Structure 1
Amino acid sequence: MARNIVLIGFMGVGKGALARELVRCDSTLYALDTDDMIESMTNTRIKKIFATAGEAAFRALEQKTADWLAKNVTNAVISTGGGFYKVDNLKAIGTVVYLKADFDWILGRILNAPNAKKKLKKRPLFQDVEKARSLFAERYHRYEEVADVVIDVDRGDTRSVAEEVLRMAAQQ
């Protein structure tokens, strides 16, 4: 298996921020973001892909990205979109780490961010908070089922969570 750490979890839980912190903690790693990769590959924003092509087309792009990562990437921390856990070769990419937090903590994190409006606008599935809450309830246990490691992120600062992820991933 590739020496990658694949961060999964609900949108807004902090996968990107944690990926950057993990790279600061371990200079042998580099960070990739699957949503950024998809936007680069298609030259289209995620929100526009959802609006014009639909969710199924976006999920196909996630699978294409997963296939490429599994074949070509090592020593990376890969932050993923909230639905990336559904790709069929997730474990082939690396150690899967579920960043676990409750919905209200995630919502508070987004709403209290300095760029809250931008964070909300970027997440097409978070436009209706009650629909997002329902989606969270639907996905919550699936994240745990596919993860190699589960980390509660709502209990510590980003640095201590990063250190815990590195310790746990090293044991896999």
Structure 2
Amino acid sequence: MNARNIVLIGFMGTGKSTVAHELAQRFGWKRVDLDASIEEAEKATIPQLFADKGEPYFRRAETEALRRELEGVEGRVVATGGGAVLAEENRAIMTANGLVVALTADEETIVRRVKDDPNRPLLQGDLRERVRTLLGQRKHAYDFAHVRIDTSDKTVERIADEIAAHLAR
């Protein structure tokens, strides 16, 4: 597959931002953090958007950001938010405009990676229970991806190597 862009999807804490940084450096492509793109366009943080305008508003802003960052461009590595895959329209935008790579990790790895991050509005309350519940709800949400990679016990370089191999096909 000769993709124009790489789109990283997956649950929070699976390494999307870290892997995006590595891939962008490796290929000389632009790295796009979709949440940062939304924050810039909306002039508010993700937690503020959730609190002030609600999740439905945020999800619409997310779709607009995907269009802006992927349609008609190439040479981008886009790290999406964990819930960007929930809307069919978003999945269509992603698959039409790049190699979609689902990054996964086991529950323990995810909890370890996100436990100290205050910018996770969906993880308020009992962290382990919220992660378990959301993983269950999103169990098949990433099935549309062209590639699936478990990041639990891999270095960022190895993950990038695997993605690069798929890109060259």
Please state if 1:127 is matched with 2:121.
no
- Aligned pair count reads 162
* 8 Å Cα contact 2:3/2:167 also seen in 1: no
Q: How does 1:88-103 map to 2 (within 5 A)?
A: 88=89, 89-103=93-107
Preserved CA contact (<8 Å) 1:85 1:146: no
SS of residue paired to 2:14:
coil
Bigger helix share: 1
Is contact 1:30-1:76 (8 Å) kept? yes
Partner of 1:68: 68
1:108 aligns with 2:112: yes
C-alpha distance in structure 1 between counterparts of 2:3 and 2:163, whole Å: 16
Q: Specify whether residues 5 and 169 from structure 1 end up closer, same or farther in structure 2 by C-alpha distance, changes over 3 A only.
A: same
The match for 2:167 is 169
Cα deviation, residue 164, structure 1? 0.8
- Paired residue type of 1:14: G
Alpha-carbon offset, residue 47 of structure 1: 0.2
C-alpha displacement of 1:72: 3.6
Letter in 2 for 1:85: V
Deviation string, structure 1 residues 32-68 (Cα, Å, up to 9, x no partner) = 0110000000110000000111111110011111222
Shift of 1:146: 1.4
Alignment-mate amino acid for residue 139 of structure 2: Y
Whether the 8 Å contact between 2:12 and 2:114 is mirrored in structure 1 is no
For structure 2, list consecutive stretches of 5 or more residues without a partner in the other structure. none
Amino acid at match of 1:138: Q
Q: Which residue of 2 aligns with 1:136?
A: 135
- Structure 1 residue runs of 5 or longer lacking an equivalent are none
Question: Kindly, what percent of the aligned residue pairs are identical?
Answer: 37
Kindly indicate whether the alpha-carbon contact (under 8 Å) linking 2:13 and 2:113 is maintained by their aligned counterparts in 1.
yes
Deviation per CA, 1:147-166: give whole Å up to 9, x if none.
01001111211111111111
Letter of the 2:27 counterpart: D
